[in-house]
Homo-oligomer: A and B are copies of this chain.
Amino acid sequence: MAVYTQVSAEALGDFLARYDVGELVSAKGIAEGVENSNYLVETTQDRFILTLYERRVNADELPYFMALLDHLAAKGLSVPPAIKDRNGVAIQRLEGRPACLIKFLRGVSVSHPTPAQALVAGGALGQMHRAVEDFALDRPNSMGAQTWQALFEQCGRDLDRIHPDLYDRVEEALDQVLARWPTDLPTGAIHADLFPDNILMLGDQVTGLIDFYFACTDLRAYDLAVMHGAWAFDSTGTDFFPATGHGIVSGYRDAFELSEAELAALPVLAQGASLRFLLSRAWDWLNTPADALVTRKDPLAYLRRYDFYRTFDPATTLQGVNADPFLA
């Protein structure tokens, strides 16, 4: 969430000369995305995002992300593909880092999504899943269910420094969730991190899906569960907003498809998604100095979500789609 690598105006001018994008007019370091350096660049022709990839993105995986974005853009989805230079090259090097010049998308990320915005956002996820049905590449989910136990063990008893008994709570939760983790649901390329931050909107219209650097091959309904937990609660995980949650799930189902089996699995998938963000936040919490100039995100906001998703009565999911708490 900062600019880690400084790019001089002179180096940026030289970089842009590789492309057919006009001359440099303005460049501002921007504070967004995962741990990359980003600039909003204006040329005489257009605006772009310049991304320099820092440690969290493995350069070897950039071709997967860029192929996915190209695929989605070719299907008409509003995603930001990398611009190709005069030689057709999208992934460059700049200031010693892998770097891409990326299409700029209009829109803002809402902080308090309305049910109407949740409906179109869920629809956008459904459109994405439909669009990748013929996408050929695979990438394992580096933060998927099979990784949580190891991350839990890396955090270890330090978890209790965040909250007493957190270690025991997570140990038990992982046992329960992983024992019931579904294996026979449809898979595909998923976004895996579609928080409100990562959807650009203007009013009630989606103008862009961004930040695909956790995209991978995994259960499609898991993507929906991640989104449900990210959109339908206040930031502390205390208050659940049923109409917003309903918008996410019904928007998705209307735009694509959601089987009875996927719907029935949403509670355990949402419990798992809660543990995934609990664990990554806990790891960051334990490894970020308290006085660093980054905001540590509270892991307990996801323990609260986990507890919420445990109280779903599985029986209600058997009464048909319209009685499902996710669609209530």
Listed in ascending order, the chain A residues whose CB lies under 8 Å from chain B are 2-3, 8-10, 12, 24-32, 40, 42, 106-112, 200-202, 289, 291-294
Nearest B residue to A24, CB-CB: B108
Other-chain residue from B25, B31, B112 in contact with A8 (beta carbon distance below 8 A): B112
Q: Is B24 touching A28 in the complex (CB atoms < 8 A)?
A: no
Other-chain residue from B9, B32, B40, B112 in contact with A111 (beta carbon distance below 8 A): B9
Distance in angstroms between the alpha carbons of A197 and B302 in the assembled complex = 42
Q: Is B8 touching A107 in the complex (CB atoms < 8 A)?
A: no
User: With a CB–CB cut-off of 8 A, which chain B residues contact A291?
Assistant: 289, 291-292
Task: Report A48 CB to chain B, min CB distance, Å.
Answer: 12
Contact A26:B292 (CB < 8 A) given known A8-B111, A31-B31, A112-B10: no
User: With a CB–CB cut-off of 8 A, which chain B residues contact A294?
Assistant: 293
Other-chain residue from B2, B111, B202 in contact with A31 (beta carbon distance below 8 A): B2
User: With a CB–CB cut-off of 8 A, which chain B residues contact A30?
Assistant: 28-31, 40
Distance in angstroms between the alpha carbons of A126 and B293 in the assembled complex = 38
Nearest B residue to A49, CB-CB: B28
Q: Is A108 touching B29 in the complex (CB atoms < 8 A)?
A: no
User: With a CB–CB cut-off of 8 A, which chain B residues contact A201?
Assistant: 9
Nearest B residue to A12, CB-CB: B108
Distance in angstroms between the alpha carbons of A291 and B287 in the assembled complex = 12
Contact A108:B31 (CB < 8 A) given known A40-B40, A289-B291: no
The 8 A-B pairs at the shortest CB distance, nearest first, are namely A8-B111, A9-B108, A29-B31, A28-B30, A293-B293, A3-B31, A25-B106, A9-B110
**Can you list 30 A-B contacts with CB-CB less than 8 angstroms, sorted by A residue number?**
A2-B31, A2-B293, A3-B31, A8-B111, A8-B112, A9-B110, A9-B111, A9-B201, A12-B108, A24-B108, A24-B202, A25-B106, A25-B107, A26-B106, A26-B107, A28-B30, A28-B32, A28-B40, A29-B31, A30-B30, A30-B40, A31-B31, A40-B40, A42-B106, A289-B289, A289-B291, A292-B292, A292-B293, A293-B293, A293-B294
Beyond contacts A2-B293, A10-B110: 13 other A-B pairs, Cβ-Cβ < 8 A, are A2-B31, A3-B31, A8-B110, A9-B111, A24-B202, A28-B31, A28-B32, A29-B32, A30-B30, A30-B31, A40-B40, A289-B291, A292-B293
User: With a CB–CB cut-off of 8 A, which chain B residues contact A24?
Assistant: 108, 202
Distance in angstroms between the alpha carbons of A9 and B106 in the assembled complex = 13
Nearest B residue to A108, CB-CB: B9
Nearest B residue to A203, CB-CB: B23
User: With a CB–CB cut-off of 8 A, which chain B residues contact A2?
Assistant: 2, 31, 293
User: With a CB–CB cut-off of 8 A, which chain B residues contact A107?
Assistant: 25-26
User: With a CB–CB cut-off of 8 A, which chain B residues contact A12?
Assistant: 108
Distance in angstroms between the alpha carbons of A112 and B110 in the assembled complex = 39
Nearest B residue to A6, CB-CB: B111
Task: Report A248 CB to chain B, min CB distance, Å.
Answer: 18
User: With a CB–CB cut-off of 8 A, which chain B residues contact A27?
Assistant: 108
